[in-house]
Amino acid sequence: MSNTDATHAGAYSRSVLHGGYHHPLARKYQNQGRNVTKDMFMYPIFISDDPDAEEVISSLPGQKRWGVNKLEGFLGPLVKSGLRSVILFGVPMKMKKLFLACDVCLCEYTSHGHCGIMSSLPNPVHSDQPTLDAEASAQRIAEVALAYAKAGAHCVAPSDMMDGRIRAIKTALMENGYGNRVTLMSYSAKFASSLYGPFREAAGSAPSSGNRKCYQLPPNARGLARRAIRDAAEGADILMVKPTLPYLDIVSDCAQLEPDHPVAVYQVSGEYAMIVAGAEKGIYDLKQMAFETVESFVRAGASIILSYFTPDFLVWLDEPEE
Ligand code: PBG
Ligand code: ZN
């Protein structure tokens, strides 16, 4: 090698990147130890009160509402492909092979469809509309969480965004002997998003009047989201950010603010429906796009992914990398 060649290599060697990711495996090495794995996926499942139900949810392509009698048949093959965890919306049941999380909220069960209990105090902004009773809501939510724990849930996951509910749930779990055996996963930074529409249809949980802007976070509010991470101090074992793709800065903030807590992300119904719709329109390939999204989640710091794509990823993750 001539002197000129050496100088040439020295000046440019750090700029030549392609060599580092030409081979499919070499591309995998670029993940800095943060691989997407099957263990990361938690599959959201809607339970119907009709025990034999298998109802198509038109707004969530490929997803169904399941009756308890149908669950074994549906989940059995997924467990065989590597499913480790589910989060149930509706009635809990014992699925011994799975890590069983239960979403805790009141909106599916209240007549008004809001996530808490209404207060009799006047609303200073809209005098004709009720506002929330934070204390009563947190207490009721803690009772519901405890009931799920008693029914065999491994994890309770409050999604209501009431102030004080993590403390209330943790206290209820501890006072009843579940403090050391039930994981508390908080929907800590949950934004008032337009992306929950298909879910609300699936769960029948749309508010009959008003909106959730006084308890879910404003989409512009990075500071509030960072403050909401206080759920770690109230006793949450896992912190969640939701939705995910438009909030990757918050995922990264969360991972940095609480490096000792696993960060979960929820790729919500509207994100899922959007990705499927785009693929149907021929804008991109479904699998490639789905991977691109979850890789961004993991890159930002997530280690648990709630996604309606879970059954697909169980298949895709067994396919050779391209
Ligand atoms: C209920 C709840 C919602 C979601 C999870 N739990 C809807 C909402 O807050 O309106 C959204 C999940 C999704 O869109 O996939 N509190
Ligand atoms: Zn709710």
Instruction: Return mean pLDDT, the chain.
Output: 93
Nearest bound ligand to CA 307? 1
Contact call for residues 217 and 192 (beta carbons, < 8 A): yes
pLDDT band at residue 7 using 50, 70 and 90 as cut-offs: low
Provide long-range contacts, Cβ within 8 A and 24+ apart, for 170-177.
170/234, 170/235, 170/236, 171/142, 172/142, 172/143, 172/145, 172/146, 173/145, 173/146, 173/149, 176/146, 176/149, 176/150
Contacts of 73 (CB under 8 A, 6+ apart): none
Name the CA dihedral angle for 65, 70, 73, 74, rounded to a multiple of 10 degrees.
Answer: 0
For tokens 């890159």, the residue is 299
Nearest protein CA to atom 2 of ligand 1, as residue: 159
Q: Is 159 touching ligand 1 by the criterion CB < 6 Å?
A: yes
Per residue in 241-262, pLDDT (tens digit) is 999 999 999 999 999 999 999 9
Contact call for residues 252 and 300 (beta carbons, < 8 A): yes
Q: Is 269 touching ligand 1 by the criterion CB < 6 Å?
A: yes
Nearest protein CA to atom 12 of ligand 1, as residue: 268
Between 111 and 235, where is the model more confident?
235
Q: Which ligand 1 atom is nearest residue 196's CA?
A: 14
Contact call for residues 251 and 228 (beta carbons, < 8 A): no
Contact call for residues 138 and 163 (beta carbons, < 8 A): yes
| Percent over 70 (pLDDT), the chain | 96
The pLDDT of residue 85: 97
Q: Which domains does the chain have, with CATH numbers?
A: 39-116+130-317 (3.20.20.70)
pLDDT band at residue 5 using 50, 70 and 90 as cut-offs: low
The pLDDT of residue 239: 98
Q: How far is the CA of 240 from the centre of ligand 2 (A)?
A: 15
Q: Looking at the predicted structure, is the pLDDT value of residue 305 above 80?
A: yes
Q: The dihedral of CA 197, 189, 207, 115: what is its sign?
A: positive
pLDDT band at residue 6 using 50, 70 and 90 as cut-offs: low
pLDDT band at residue 1 using 50, 70 and 90 as cut-offs: very low
Average pLDDT over residues 95-117: 90
Q: Looking at the predicted structure, is the pLDDT value of residue 33 above 90?
A: no
Active site residues: 190, 242
Q: How far apart are CA 38 and CA 314, in angstroms?
A: 6
